[in-house]
């Protein structure tokens, strides 16, 4: 059961998404402005896409004009928020181990690693499938890099997290959940802030599936 009075916003993300990177640079600010906390919810975006019938690499399915605009939009949002951004040369990114390691941490301890891995992927153009890159991210987050050796322990946790993302009706990443309301996309953060302040549209259908 979801507590509709909770001052928590869930951030559902995969490191493979540049839109999720942009969202993670701002969601803590939005939460802080409304006296809320962020609950980090990593999941495997490719598995979700496969389950819901979305192309595994949506950008590749766009026509040239739409793809060009989407990439320009990423650059505009990064400039708007004053954050660094570089589209990776390793796209599409393989993020299974990065996600598993994140899930090995308590929710409260995840934020530094989330930011370190996102920065490695979408600022420094590093490959998260490279174990040395992940170890460097763990060190940056003040976490013992030996944790990477236990990534396989979170195999079921990642499966369960992805199943939950599908269950709540996530169409992609990032998604933000406030109470029983789900918002998709880094460009919906204004809505997220309004929801944290108590806003909801009567009769709107963007409710988290399975909530009571």
Tell me the torsion sign for CA atoms 63, 65, 70, 74.
positive
Look up residue 200 and give its two tokens. 């909801």
**Residue 5: predicted pLDDT:** 46
Global pTM reads: 0.91
Please state, in angstroms and rounded to a whole number, the distance separating the CA atoms of residues 84 and 112: 17
Please state, in angstroms and rounded to a whole number, the distance separating the CA atoms of residues 74 and 88: 12
| φ/ψ of residue 35, rounded to 5 | 65, 30
176 DSSP assignment: E
pLDDT tens, residue order, the chain (212 aa): 334 445 999 999 999 999 999 999 999 999 999 999 999 999 999 999 999 888 766 566 666 787 788 889 999 999 999 999 999 999 999 999 999 999 999 998 999 999 999 999 999 999 999 999 999 999 999 999 999 999 999 999 999 999 999 999 999 999 999 999 999 999 999 999 999 999 999 876 656 865 53
| φ/ψ of residue 41, rounded to 5 | -125, 85
Tokens 């309301």 belong to residue: 181
**Residue 210: predicted pLDDT:** 57
Q: Domains in the chain and their CATH numbers?
A: 8-196 (3.40.30.10)
**Residue 3: predicted pLDDT:** 46
**Residue 67: predicted pLDDT:** 74
CB 114 within 8 A of CB 89: no
**Residue 62: predicted pLDDT:** 62
Beta strands in the chain (DSSP E): 8-13, 37-42, 175-178, 181-184
- Measured in whole angstroms, how far is the alpha carbon of residue 54 from the centre of its chain? 17
Please state, in angstroms and rounded to a whole number, the distance separating the CA atoms of residues 184 and 196: 15
Please state, in angstroms and rounded to a whole number, the distance separating the CA atoms of residues 171 and 168: 9
Q: Which residues contact 159 (CB under 8 A, 6 or more apart)?
A: none
């Amino acid at each position: 059961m979801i507590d509709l009075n909770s001052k928590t916003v869930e951030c559902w993300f995969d490191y493979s998404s540049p839109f999720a990177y942009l969202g993670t640079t701002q969601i803590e600010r939005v939460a802080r402005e409304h006296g809320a906390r962020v609950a980090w919810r990593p999941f495997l975006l490719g598995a979700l896409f496969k389950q819901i019938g979305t192309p595994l690499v949506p950008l590749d399915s766009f026509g040239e004009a739409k793809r060009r605009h989407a990439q320009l939009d990423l650059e505009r949002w990064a400039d708007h928020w004053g954050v660094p951004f570089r589209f990776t040369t390793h796209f599409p990114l393989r993020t299974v181990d990065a996600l598993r390691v994140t899930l090995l941490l308590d929710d409260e301890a995840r934020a530094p690693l989330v930011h370190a891995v996102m920065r490695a992927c979408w600022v420094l153009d590093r490959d998260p499938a490279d174990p040395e890159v992940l170890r460097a991210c763990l060190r940056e987050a003040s976490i013992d890099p030996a944790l990477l050796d236990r990534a396989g322990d979170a195999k079921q946790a990642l499966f369960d997290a992805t199943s939950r993302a599908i269950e709540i009706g996530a169409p992609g990443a990032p998604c933000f959940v406030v109470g029983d309301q789900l918002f998709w996309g880094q460009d919906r953060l204004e809505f997220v802030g309004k929801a944290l302040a108590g806003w909801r549209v009567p009769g709107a259908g963007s409710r988290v599936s399975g909530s009571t």
